Amino acid sequence: MNRPPARSARPARRSKPSGPKRPSGGAGAPRPASDPSRPKPTPRPRSGPAQRSRGGAHLERLQKILAHAGIDSRRKCEQLILEGHVQVNGVTVTELGAKADPFRDEVAVDFRPIRREQPVYIIMNKPKGYVTTVKDEEGRPTVMALLHGVPARVYPVGRLDFQSEGLLLMTNDGELAHRLTLPDHHIPKVYLVKVHRLPPPETLKELREGFRLDGRRLKPCHIEVVDKQGNPWLKVTLTEGKNQQIRRMFEAVGHPVHKLRRVQFGPLADPMLKPGVWRFLTSQEVTALKSL
């Protein structure tokens, strides 16, 4: 009987060349030496719910979001955050560094959601007898009472005291308002000032060159005599805005202010605007403001 041919034996496996064994990764395995040339990763700060990043998220600081929504100036929005009035997705945030996505997160003030408004820019000729705040603790009338038909929540930029009148910028653009009121942002503001008797030339020179008030030297200002009759009118140009600066300056040299009217704020001027009346800025005026 014929037997089937025997199967040939499988060829022996070729052994791999021996080399250094890789560590198994166990607890006792040595760690590879670190490369000193490679930069160490920067640890990400741990923060609240408003600062967690998400794919494609556009994060902004909370105070900036609030200011853009017309809540108030950025500085006052920071105070709202610190006082615990601001929530993001239902969680109260009290850190100024917190961020949120204005298009995805729900940002609220005292649990009332905000909404982003279109920027509005207004110039008003403030009359005497009004304060330049949104609310007044003493119950005095504010400039807000003069606004009718404004499609946004605007607020004053800078201030004019109760007895002063003249041009006042109002907007809901918190970023622009913040920039315009920075101490280092020297925006010229021009005032017509009626004082008691004409100060002598040496006094005007002292005021122009940087008057010392409350132990601090003020920045130089421009003073021009417009009308010398009786109690004269002066044109004063300031590049800083200390509280009631002009009134206190002339009071300190014995020439108190009878009337004070702001006639120019940066590039903005409108001699035809009557007291108590406001209008929207033109696109050219807005561009000029933003270029400061």
- List active site positions: 161
Q: HEC states along 12-29? A: CCCCCCCCCCCCCCCCCC
Tokens describing residue 119: 């920027």
State CA 64 to chain mean position distance: 7
Max CA distance (Å), the chain: 148
Closest residue by Cα to residue 63 from 46, 76, 50, 49:
76
Contact 42, 153 (CB under 8 A): no
The amino acid that residue 191 corresponds to is: Y
Tokens describing residue 96: 């100024």
